[in-house]
Structure 1
């Protein structure tokens, strides 16, 4: 954000929410809540920035970016005088240094050994909010088995001796796979691990019988079911109910220095996430949200959006931080970690928490 030349409101002037005037001023100063909160502002809460700010988001059209897309299309960023621009990177090896340098402000990330190693070796980025977790009983990233094996494989323990495709090693996919094995009482040697980086290839492999099961993702789970290629095997929440699949990442400069902009950005993002939950969990405003999702993601069929298991997005931005640590420990046990990862400095949810104070808890 420094490149945009925005003059910031010092954090010391972030005083209080309008609803708490005169009751606990000292506490609100310490918490850093802006004084310019009013229902008369376009946002209904925080005042818009005096000067338009541009926020760069590294996002590739993943469904987990719903909060960004919805907030943009419904004008939540505009209400705060924020202009968001999306950009893409070929891989995280390029994206993380750009984020650390402040060339981009926000990005989505998943837990991998290389992610932890990059930060441990000096690439400074902050893990700030939820961008993907499981919804109990209807996970968007779960195991499937070949349709013709549905009478043979009834439980995870029945995968013994079977060929199981997983998209990566020493990454969250591998973590979910190993969690399943532990739940099933199986050893790694009990199944044939098939590394298959392309989820689309898993569908073809199901069709030709070269694999028996796969850790698959939506919308390919639903598409494969409709094509008669595979069926679900239970649900990933059977063994990993608190798995943190993806996270919102922020540049240190954006989170720690551009506080007037980042707070408003996070408030707008959470409004988008809340509309997403209203649509898919409560059924409120669903048609409009599906229109937005078809515009910004690769899933262009509105009818299929009615069928797929959706990405879980916490309306208060909260993450399963204990699970992130468990993933790290697994990679470390596998010998894939180089250096030490400092969770205390790398996980910074302070701006998300302040945004929730402004908006109130989602109900």
Structure 2
């Protein structure tokens, strides 16, 4: 009895000092989990890295492992295969998976613009005139089936070309993408910053379609286009609501940090490898895409419909299916997190 009383007395000051952490730690259903990502160094996934580097996951009582894959489609495969619990990836995958009768839901948005750029190689296509010139060419993407290949396919389809009219080549999102263009391995590339800004600086590419700003995204897609997000099987969210809320809290806190932080703090926070050897270029690229970050993690009202319309343009399977967009996302977790971290 005395031991029990003593333990209670010793624990009391700790619980009093950290009431929110103490309470939340008791609620987390799955404190140790894996978030798969495809191209962690990209600004597209920057909020994920900030949440990790700033210790926001740990502050929510989570022990998170983040394996990095060559592209978003590979991260999705990890989720479907059971080696990941959650994915930091493109929202479009939730629609694709519903068409395949698998229920996947977005629950906190990272980006409100895709940031993907389609550009042609000045070396291989110096006389480029129009999208039609890409027929029969090789287009480098992060990975076939990823958001970069979907964006390129959409741009091609608007010009009357099909995905089968070109060859998509997986080049990753870092040094592999840079070398693919420099060596002439690809004729065009669909990729993101900081890779694109580095290729532009060296005058290696000509941009032909850009979604790094809200204005450019509106011009390409005709509406707001949701981008990176955290998504998971609906079953996971239903069985682990407190875990999902903790993840949303950490991500929204990272988004708030990005809204307020200065350039010098950003470069101090991200890993040195993200800078690709050029700090000033990294910051220049950041200024180009900063407005693409979601300010609060909440899915915009018209976003899902824009994504569906885009996919229906070139994906016959999705065009033939009745997609229930309300089942591809939930704002419940993000809204609660946004209220917590104002």
The question of a shared fold, defined as TM-score above 0.5 by the shorter chain, is answered with yes
Q: Secondary structure of 1:277's match?
A: helix
Q: How far apart are residue 105 of structure 1 and its match?
A: 3.6
TM-score, L = length of structure 2: 0.68
CA shift, 1:142, in A, is 0.9
Residue of 106, 110, 117 corresponding to 1:127: 106
Q: Deviations over 1:24-49 (max 9, x none)?
A: xxxxxxxxxxxxxxxx9879x88751
* Higher percent of residues as helix: 2
CA contact (8 A) 1:133 1:313 kept: yes
* Displacement after TM superposition at 1:271 (Å): 0.9
- The answer as to 2:139 corresponding to 1:161 is no
Counterparts of 1:214 and 1:130, CA distance in 2: 25
Q: 1:278: how far off?
A: 2.6
Cα deviation 1:324-343 (Å, max 9, x = unaligned): 2123423543x477865443
**1:214 alignment partner, one of 170, 184, 189:** 189
For residues 10-159 of structure 1, the aligned pairs below 5 Å read: 48-51=23-26, 53-60=31-38, 61-63=40-42, 64-88=44-68, 91-92=74-75, 94-97=77-80, 104-110=84-90, 116=95, 118-134=97-113, 140-147=115-122, 158-159=130-131
Indicate if the aligned counterparts of 1:129 and 1:317 stay in contact, CA closer than 8 A.
yes
Report what 2:231 is aligned to: 249
Root mean square deviation, CA, Å: 4.0
1:197 maps onto 2:170 in alignment: yes
What is the match of residue 226 of structure 1?
Answer: 201
Q: Which ranges of structure 2 fall in alignment gaps of 5 or more residues?
A: 1-15
User: After the TM superposition, which residues 315-354 of structure 1 pair with which residues of structure 2 at under 5 Å, given as runs?
Assistant: 315-319=295-299, 320-333=303-316, 335=317, 341-354=323-336
Map 1:169-180; keep pairs closer than 5 Å.
Answer: 172-180=147-155
Task: Report SS of the residue matched to 1:188.
Answer: coil
> Are the counterparts in 1 of residues 105 and 234 from structure 2 also a CA contact under 8 Å?
yes
Query: 2:320, 2:131 → 1: CA distance?
Result: 33
Does the aligned pair in 2 maintain the 1:49–1:261 contact within 8 Å? Answer: no
Task: Provide the TM-score with structure 1 as the length reference.
Answer: 0.65
The number of residues matched between the two structures is: 300
CA distance in 1, matches of 2:195, 2:68: 22
Work out which of the residue numbers 355, 358, 362 in structure 1 matches 2:337: 355
Aligned twin of 1:302: 279
Whether the aligned pair in 2 keeps the contact of 1:132 and 1:244 (CA below 8 Å) is yes
